Copies of this chain bind each other. A is one copy, B any other.
Amino acid sequence: MKVAIQGELGSFSHTAARQLAPRMTVLPCAVSRDAFAALKSGRAQAAAIPIENSLAGSVAEHFDLMLAHDFWIEAELRLRIEHNLIAARGVKFAEVKRVLSHPVALDQCRKFFQEHRQVRSEAFYDTAGSVKHVVENNLRDTAAIAARKAAQQYGATILRSGLEDNKRNFTRFFLIRKSRRIAPGANKTSIAFAVKNISGALFKALSVFALRDISLSKIESRPVPGRPWEYVFYADLLCGREMRAEKALNHLAEISEFVKVLGIYKAAK
């Protein structure tokens, strides 16, 4: 049984996959589309994907991919994100002139770069991938920013830890599958919907939940590709499989262009 992730072994997604599905092996994919394709083709039985970071916001591409595929959110996880400066063995901090990492990780370590003006940052496709690159090429003037696990994975050295500007840095991950399974105790529902282009449409859409005392923990709009200034809304509802939720979703479908349930699952603690 395999879980597809975007990124290399040792990435935050790798850690998330292990926590979400402890007995599975991980299938690393270069880009998110490949992870979704692996699940679609059956090369993987599940995928672990980051959906939202508490500082950087939503991973927009993953919302788009969830809408384009008929996959199902089975579980949710919150992972604390800690950034470390990692280099090949024997490299000293004073030797480092360049630091590679994913642009989001670099952006979350602004203070480090302000305090160390001799070091320049450079965008790389993946956090753990940047550690792999530094180690495989035995770079002596270049370090990477990634999870502690990436240093273990590639036999590298942690030069500095806790590089992130803000310690309250968390990422939400989803475990997604092809089949629809609803875990016992499921208390959260993720949906996508598009409202008709009429005045007060979103207000009416939200009324189906407000009138039934269903809380939203999140709502977000994304543009519809090829239809400028039209939006799909993504919402997380604090309800499971109960009757009022079913009625609210039926009511929403009456007044929307479409409604798609992305998953019903147990909210992460």
Which residues does A use to contact B, with CB under 8 Å?
A: 52-57, 60, 103, 123, 125, 166, 168, 170, 199-200, 202-204, 206-207, 209-210, 213, 215-223, 225-229, 231
Q: Which residues does chain B contribute within 8 Å of A217, judged by CB atoms?
A: 229
Say whether, besides A54-B229, A168-B226, A170-B228, A206 and B199 are in contact (CB < 8 Å). no
Residue in chain B with minimal CB distance to A227:
B168
Residue from the list B52, B203, B216, B223 in contact with A55, Cβ < 8 A: B223
Choose among B53, B56, B203 the residue that contacts A203 (Cβ–Cβ < 8 A): B203
Within the complex, the shortest CB–CB distance from A27 to chain B, in Å, comes to 22
Minimum distance in angstroms from A267 CB to a CB of chain B: 11
Question: Which one of A54, A168, A222 has the greatest number of beta carbons of chain B within 10 Å?
Answer: A54
How many angstroms from the CA of A134 to the CA of B200 in the assembled complex?
A: 50
Nearest 5 pairs of A and B residues by beta carbon: A54-B228, A203-B210, A200-B210, A203-B206, A199-B215
Q: How far is the CA of A36 from the CA of B188 in the complex (A)?
A: 40
The distance in angstroms between the C-alpha atoms of A239 and B221, with both chains bound, is 21
- Other A-B contacts than A55-B225, A203-B203, A219-B221, 20 sampled, CB-CB below 8 A, are A53-B223, A54-B223, A56-B223, A103-B123, A166-B226, A168-B226, A168-B227, A199-B210, A200-B206, A200-B210, A200-B213, A202-B206, A202-B216, A202-B219, A203-B206, A203-B209, A218-B221, A218-B231, A220-B220, A220-B221
Q: In the bound complex, how far is the Cα of B221 from the Cα of A52, in angstroms?
A: 12
A69 CB → nearest B CB, Å: 17
Which residues of B sit under 8 angstroms from A220, Cβ to Cβ?
220-221
Separation of A56 and B222 alpha carbons in the complex (Å): 9
Contacts of A225 in B (CB 8 A): 55, 166
